[in-house]
A and B are shown apart, each in its own frame.
Chain A
Amino acid sequence: QITLKESGPTLVKPTQTLTLTCNFSGFSLNTGGVAVGWIRQPPGKALEWLALIYWDADKRYSPSLKSRLTITKDTSKNQVVLTMTNMDPVDTATYYCAHKAESGYAYFDYWGQGTPVTVSS
């Protein structure tokens, strides 16, 4: 049974750096093709894909946010961490992590419950 759960601060100040952790179980990030991604959703708005890290540590970022994002993994802890620098009120959103299945598959089949982040002074 695959589960993911996001954690991190609910409130950050403008210009600060946000660090979010995705703790997962039921799969290994050592399995070929498997990846974990981050997606966010501002209140009342659409989903936005942010970043993805593969089992081999290959990383992909949203072109519009690439300069502000870093995604890393700790396979021993079954964790994926996303950092976003220079936070702004427009970054207020619910942040989700999600599992991408093995090679040849390009969809997110399991999602965490999401963690809300508000950017305000």
Chain B
Amino acid sequence: QSALTQPASVSGSPGQSITISCTGTSSDVGGYNYVSWYQQHPGKAPKLMIYEVSNRPSGVSNRLSGSKSGNTASLTISGLQAEDEADYYCSSYTSSTTYVFGTGTRVTVL
């Protein structure tokens, strides 16, 4: 299985909205509503931000939202804040009953 494809970096100014894409195949992203997103600050463990494409765990800001169309999932961060600067990874369940992560996206707040 190949890693899901994400842009290496995305940037935006405070208050703006950004969107991170996560492209897979019909055997993972496109085949299941089991896409999740993780935020990782330097030196820290990943933190679950979105699960099942668009659901937010308790405590996660409603400025984050997820969606999916075909084989591509997306994470949108609205009202960008300095604390959003981090690496973001998507993940999907696969038809092989395994999991796969994305290539990761560095979000920079200008």
Contacts and interface: CB of A to CB of B under 8 A. Distances in A.
B57 A37 contact: no
A78 interface: no
Nearest to A52: B99
B69 interface: no
Contacts of B52: 105-107
Contact of B3 (A37, A46, A96, A105): A46
A60 B98 contact: yes
Nearest to B90: A47
A49 B51 contact: no
Interface stretch (A11-19, A25-33, A84-92, A109-117): A109-117
Contacts of B51: 105, 107, 109
A39 interface: yes
Interface residues of A, number: 23
Contacts of A107: 34, 36, 48, 51-52, 91
Contacts of A60: 97-99
A105 B99 CA distance: 12
Given A49-B99, A52-B99, A111 B104 contact: no
Contacts of B97: 60
A24 to B, nearest CB: 14
Interface of A: 37, 39, 45-49, 52, 60-64, 96, 105-109, 111-114
20 contacts: A45-B104, A46-B3, A46-B89, A46-B101, A47-B104, A48-B3, A48-B101, A49-B91, A49-B99, A49-B100, A52-B99, A60-B97, A60-B98, A96-B45, A105-B51, A106-B32, A106-B52, A108-B36, A108-B38, A108-B91
